Amino acid sequence: MASRPDVRVRRVYDEPAGDDGTRVLVDRIWPRGLTKAEADLAEWCKHVAPSTELRKWYGHDPAKFEEFVRRYRAELGEPERAAALQHLRDLAEHHPLTLLTATKHPDISEATVLADLLRPDAARSRDPARTGRDGSLLRVEGCRPSPLVRTDEEPGAAVLRLVRGVGDQDRHAVRPTTFDGTVALSDPA
């Protein structure tokens, strides 16, 4: 039985820890003012980083994080990024993996998105689009929960969207209907 991947997220500027395992920089741009010796990296995996356009749009604005996650996960389906993500999975399979980023707030960075993808159990428990208030997984009747995206259409309400296609006609609002986390589809408001 395979063990759960030990994946961590840290700032590349922090002092390396003895239990970091394989240290991989996942930013597209080299960190300002840091030498390769100071970084103490096993490798620089810049092919897994978000596109320049997405990185500039996001600008590490906490209000844009959920949309950033959605867009970045879509980018990770592109062949080059998918191969780089698989490489990170391979690295994390048997040894601790530390994903490094230069951002001041690593908890809202691409490194955290990657760590959540590499630690499937952690991703489900922390992803607000897939969990109820109590942290239980939401189930969508007749659908897989993976395409759920959180929206803020109704303040105070847990409103999700099931995205099946590109056009608005393929989008359905998803609203919790019971306390056990079961949700049902309804037409968009």
Tens-place pLDDT, residues 104-148: 999 999 999 999 999 876 444 444 443 333 333 333 333 333 333
Q: Do residues 185 and 138 touch, judged by C-beta distance below 8 A?
A: no
In this predicted structure, what is the pLDDT of residue 135?
Answer: 38
- Give pLDDT tens digits for 6-53: 999 999 999 999 999 999 999 999 999 999 999 999 999 999 999 999
Residue 4 binned pLDDT confidence (cut-offs 50, 70, 90): confident
Asked whether 143 and 162 are in contact (CB, 8 A), the reply is yes
Q: How much is the pTM?
A: 0.64
Distance from C-alpha of 27 to C-alpha of 11, rounded to nearest angstrom: 11
DSSP E strands in the chain: the ranges are 7-11, 22-25, 43-44, 97-101, 139-140, 148-151, 159-163, 171-176, 182-186
Residue 176 Cα distances to 143, 170, 183, angstroms:
14, 19, 4
Beta bridge partners of 150: 160
